[in-house]
Every structure is written in structure tokens, then in C-alpha cells.
Structure 1
């Protein structure tokens, strides 16, 4: 009887040992899996546009280069430009120039790989990420914002009315500046702070949603939060995964206030006086992307690829939504436009933040990309639109009469 008990005890010990070892093996596998490099989240990604078009002839390039150089020297005489500039057709660079300093004190030169603050041209990139998420059915164009951001206080605002600036929201730069009870300007403002203020401080709409157009940075600060909510990633990481890395935009990044405030390219007034950071510099989506003309050329080419969006959604991007008053100027889904009675359309976006000015022009019909960036304030950045006349029937005047 005693022997049987001992045998049973031994069997139980062996079984217990097997269970423990098996459990340890499973736990070890779990640990190994958690320590391993996990695959990146399955997000829609931009695809580079392969250039299957014939190469531009040397004669064509030289002719255009002469005209562009003449414009450049007239626009920025005596090497007065401080920034970067590029003109390309079918993805082939015709002309590019890099002049001046990213930092006047250190005399650090601006080169083709120097990321400059692209100001509101960032909105085109934010819109692109949202459009990719819409295209992948991760979110819907007409979806109410309060179904995604639960504390969002305006029930009629949709993703579309954020994209086309018809939400009626007020500019966060104004309602955080005027009343200390709303925000203490000694504190750095974040996107979440903007949302919380609107939800708790009775910040009413400027006008009824979708009644009219009013360009407003708050729209794109909210779109950045939507990107974070849908992707479960910080905005800067989502942009990297959806756009920057797939397109090889190696010199493009989202400004992180704590990480980059002392190292990012400095901005200046027109008289070269340095402009420091302020409490608004941590808000992103509406601004705060740094890039180069070469990277933005890759971005523009990808946006004009047939794989960017479905034809239906693509057509909605380049449609004007603000037709209350007759005129040529309009705004689509993250892109400005001029629509003439001739049927000719001009698509672009400008930017201005501190001393940084930017211009992004995409002549879709002609396959032309024009980029101008500067970190020393000048409105001449916006004059590069005149170059459109070199490539198509655009009613701009290249030369002053």
C-alpha cells in the first residue's frame, strides 16, 4: 500500500514538473515575442510614382532653365534669397537653388538636405494622411468629429468641414491669446489643450457649420488629433509611417517642441532679427512640418499617382467647396485653387509661420512641381506662381509691364 502511494506521489510530481516546464516554455515564447521587433501597424501608405514618361530633352531643360534663372535673379537680386527653390517636370528637376543660412550666427549654409519649416504647406500633408485613412475606410469623409474625439463640442462638424475650412470654429491662436482665464501664455499649448479649451471654456462657433469658408488653423490641429485617434500613434509617427518613410522623404520630420526647439532651423524677420519660439509652437497638423524641396517633389509625385486615392475621392479633393460668392479663388480638401472661366485650374498652398514662408504649386495637367521655402521672411516666396506661365496657359504675368 505504501509503495503504491509513493508511486502515485512520484507520478504526480512528474506531471506537475511537466506542467511547470510547459508553462515556462510558453511564458518564454511570450517574452520572446514581446521583446522581438513587432511589425508596424497596418496603415495605408503612400506609394512613389514611377516615372515612365520620356526624359526631358536637354534643349527643353536649357530653355526653361534660362527663363527660370532670369525670374529668380529678378525676384531675389544680389543673392538676397534665404532658402531653397526647385522646379521640376514629370519628376525631373529642371532648376534648383539653395542660398543663405539656416543660422546666421553660426553661418550654417542651407543645402538641398536642410529641412525648413514649411508652415501651412503642412496642411496639404496632414490632409493627405487623412485622405489615405478615408481611402482605406478607417474613417469617413462625412463622419462627425465627435464620434472620434468624444469631447469635441460641435455636433455638426465633420471631417470634410475640417478639411475644407467650413467648420465655423475659431482660431486657437486668437482665443488663447486674449483671455488669461482661458490660457496662460507662459504655458506651451498642445493640440489636446486646444480641444479641452473648446470643450470646457464655452468657445462658441464663429458661424454655423458649413455656412461659409473661413481659413482656420484649428481645423487642422483637430485633424492631427483624429489621425492619432484612428492610428493609435503620435502624429509624428503616423506621418512617418503613412507618408515620409514610404516615399523616402529622409529630410522631412514633424517638429517636436521638447526634442527640436534648440536644433531646428532658426527663423528670421526680413532684417535678419531672430524670431524665437512661443507658446503656440507645439501645435501641429496646421504647421510644424520641416522638409526640403526634393522631399516635397517626391510627395507631390505620389499625390498625382493613380494609386493615391480612388478616382471618386481624388475628384473630391480638387473640387471647390466655397461657392457662396462668385470668384476664381476656392479651397478643396487640403488644397487651395484658382478656377478660371476658361476651364484652367491652378492648385497650390502657401504658408507663413514666424519668419518662415513657403509655396507649394502642383500643375497637375502639365506634371510640374514648383517649391519655394524661406526661413527669412519675404512675400516674394509666393511670386513663384508666375512661373506657371512657362508651362501652361495661366493668366499670370511673368514680367512686370
Structure 2
């Protein structure tokens, strides 16, 4: 297996298929560890095995561990109602367990900040709570009715940690997790808020489809939210290295730091009344396979960063990927799948790296005619929304966040970083939208 991994990543390096770091280990032995590409473009600085990355949503299992430690020390319980700490919150009967499981029904905070926030200011967690109380957006569903991935829930967990301990989230995580586990290169880091500079920091770059080059996300219209949301933590904002995440994996396996009964509960799936899109424990996505056994994992994405932390409990295998240059999502998943196949002695292929699409600017009047609601012809009860934000055309598919559509021609568009294209056509004065996600085409009619 070692030789196969070495050969695979040699091709990854030679063909520049990844800009990031990787660690794969089994039974207390590291099988492969490497760094590929740049930590900083200008001045050019290369990544190394101790480069520090924004973990994005891989922060969530670590935030959950922070809560579990408070339960272990009997300062809180999983079934405490969060109204105890937030009596003005306009959503009732929500417990810590609901937050951990994504079954709270709390509305997502991103639209609140998009619509009601002064973008010149950097928000912190208290601002999330204040906006929820002030504007009271409609609750998505009642507690445990169903599951919907909730960044808001994990922001609330960080606020609970602060309320219970009297420490900032950053101070608590450092004191109770990072320092005791010798995770010396891990911290809750808000670069733009604190203006602190980390040594050996891997900057996250997005691909500007207009200039056709890698840039920092701060000034690209689609990703400027990285600045004004920089102070929000718990759902993300933990920064770490492949080595520190491996240390965390080792400690979680030995059963000495966190009690076995609490770990078992963390790896037990939520049971919402109407099921969920995936199986989730306390901060972990849960999978089980007849051959591979139980797996707990999480992935994360933030402009410039993609992270993947996969732990096969029964096989004592861990895979860690940290990336800091944007690339096609589907291609990245194929890389991870190829590594998994090598580990489990299955056939694998090295995927071909796709090229980026180049975008053009269209007159606003050309974009405006596409704005409206579109009814999916295959699913008449489902709709797609096309909207304008200043001079940008936005697409919102059912149960997804709003994403910018970039034009490659007058009626052809694509979503940056995703293998998704959109085509507008006119027939008998009607406008149609076709969405191709690589697995098939869906057509919708403007209503």
C-alpha cells in the first residue's frame, strides 16, 4: 500500500493535481505524508507538512468535542434547553443535542448578514444572535422534525461554550483541547478581525474566471463575504495542520481522554422524525460499509479552501486532505476516492484535471431578462430562482444556497468551481433554463 500511495502522489505532484497537504495512516503508522504546491503565490512560498490551513467545516467535530468535554465535566448536558442561555431567542424547545445533530430548525445566518449587515464591519458570533433576535427569520422546522445542515447551530454551540466557561471560544479550545493534546499549530483564527499573522500560514486562493488567474477571495465579488464574516467561529474558523489532526485522531481512539460512552454517543446517528440527507452524530458524518466498517468523517469548504478528515474506526485508518487553491469539486472527490481505493486494495484511476472556464461580462439588460422563477418540468412542484444582485446573476436551485452564474456566452453560464452549467433558450416567447450537473440535464420553464 505504501508504494502505491507513493506512486500515486508522485503523479499528483508531477501533474500538479493538488495544491495542499495530505496524511494517510493505519495502525499508528503513517503510510504517506506530503505537501504539494504553494502556501503563498506572491511572494512565492511553498507548502510544507506543518503549513496551517483554514479547516472550514472540519471545525465542526472539534467544536462538538468542546461541548462533549463540558458534558463530561458535568457542567452541561446534551438535553439542556438553549433558552437557558438565550432567553430572548425567538425559537423554543431547542436543546444542545439538536444543535449538534443539525435538527434544530434554526434559520441560516448568511442571508441575514447579506440583507441586514454593514459590510464594512466584521461580524462576530454575538452579532449572529442579535440579528436572529432582531429580525426573527422564520424557523425552518420544529426541533427534530427533520435534519438540515446548520452553520447557525454550531455558532450557537460556540456561544454556549463562552456562556458556560466565561472564556472566549478561542481561549477555551486552546486551554481544553489544543494545549493538552500538543496541537501546537492549531487555533481559532480570525485573520481579518485580529490582523494577527500566523507563521507558515497557507493562504486560500480562488480562481478569478475573468482575469483567469488565482487571487485572494477578499476582492472578488462572489466571495467578499470572507471579510465581513471573518469573526464568526464554531461552524468554522479553526485552523490546523495534517500533523495536529492526526494527533487528535490518535487521542480519540485510545478512549482515555473522552469517556467511551460519550464517544459512542458522538458516533450514534441522529433520528429525526422524517429522516435526513445523511447520517450525522455529534459533529461527524457517519458511514458504514460491509468491507470498510464504520467511518466518521467531515469535509469543509470556504473560499480557497477544501478540507477532508476521514476516520475508519474499525480499520484504524485516517485520511486527511487540506487544500488551499480552488479546483473543480468533482475532480477533487475523484482524487479522494482514488486514495480510498488504494487503501482498500480496489482498482483506481488518476482523474484528468479539468480546465477552468473563462467568463465574460454581459450587459445588465441581457441578464435581467433571465430573472424570475422557473418551474422544473420533471418536478412541477419544485422551482429554480434566478435573481440579480447588483450586476451579478444568481442561481438558487431547490434546497441549495444561492450561487453566482458566470457567462461564457450570451446564453451559456457556469458555476465557478462546480461541474454545473446552465443554458437559457427561447421558444415561442417562452424562456427555458437547462441545468447540466454532469449526471443529467434538468429543464425548467420561466413562470
**TM-score calculated relative to the size of structure 1:** 0.77
SS for the counterpart of 1:87 is: strand
Aligned to 1:298: 247
- 8 Å Cα contact 1:120/1:352 also seen in 2: yes
The aligned runs of 1:228-243 (5 Å cut-off) are: 228-243=162-177
Q: How does 1:134-213 map to 2 (within 5 A)?
A: 134-177=71-114, 179=115, 182-213=116-147
Which residue of structure 2 aligns with residue 49 of structure 1? none
CA displacement at 1:344 relative to structure 2 = 3.2
Offset of residue 400 of structure 1: 7.3
* Structure 1 residue 397: Cα displacement: 6.1
Aligned to 1:366: 315
Q: CA RMSD in A?
A: 2.5
Aligned to 1:13: none
1:218 to 125, 146, 152: 152
1:384: which partner in 2?
Answer: 336
Instruction: Mark the CA change 1:71 to 1:328 in structure 2 (over 3 Å): closer, same or farther.
Output: farther
Figure out how many residues of one structure are paired with residues of the other and give that number.
333
| Structure 2 CA distance for partners of 1:260 and 1:293, relative to 1, 3 Å | farther
Report the counterpart of residue 5 of structure 1 in structure 2: none
Q: How far apart, CA to CA, are the structure 2 residues paired with 1:134 and 1:199? A: 27
Q: Secondary structure at the match of 1:299?
A: helix
Distance 2:53 2:204 in 1: 9
Match of 1:61 in 2: none
* Gap change, CA 1:206 and 1:327, over 3 Å in 2: closer
8 Å contact 1:83–1:110 — kept in the other structure? yes
> Which structure features the higher share of helix residues?
1
Give per-residue Cα distances to partners, 1:249-288, cap 9 Å, x unaligned: 1111111343346655321114422212421111011111
- Are the aligned partners of 1:266 and 1:275 in contact in 2 as well (CA < 8 Å)? no
* CA distance 1:397–1:348, change in 2 (3 Å): farther
2:258 paired residue number: 309
**Which residue in 2 is equivalent to 1:318?**
267
Bigger radius of gyration: 1
* Cα deviation 1:170-215 (Å, max 9, x = unaligned): 11112221x2xx3222221110000011112122211112111100
Structure 1 residues not aligned, in runs of 5+: 1-63
The alignment partner of 1:347 has SS state of strand
Aligned to 1:28: none
Indicate conservation of the 8 Å contact 2:151/2:235, yes or no: yes
Distance in 1 separating the partners of 2:277 and 2:144: 20
- Secondary structure of the residue aligned to 1:329 is coil
Give yes or no for the alignment of 1:259 onto 2:194.
Answer: yes
Match of 1:104? 41
TM-score (norm 2): 0.69
5+ residue gaps, structure 2:
208-212, 219-225, 352-447
For the residues of structure 2 that align with 1:80 and 1:342, how far apart are their CA atoms? Answer: 29
Match of 1:83 among 13, 17, 20: 20
Structure 1 residues 203, 117: closer, same or farther in 2, change over 3 A?
same
Alignment of 1:343-354 (within 5 A): 344-354=293-303
Distance 1:341 1:367, change over 3 A: closer
Q: 2:280 aligns with which of 331, 338, 343?
A: 331
Of stretches 94-103 and 383-392 in structure 1, the one that deviates more from structure 2 is: 383-392
Give the Cα separation in 2 of the matches to 1:133 and 1:322: 23
User: Larger RCO: Structure 1 or Structure 2 (Cα < 8 Å, ≥ 6 residues apart)?
Assistant: 1
Question: Secondary structure of 2:30's match?
Answer: strand
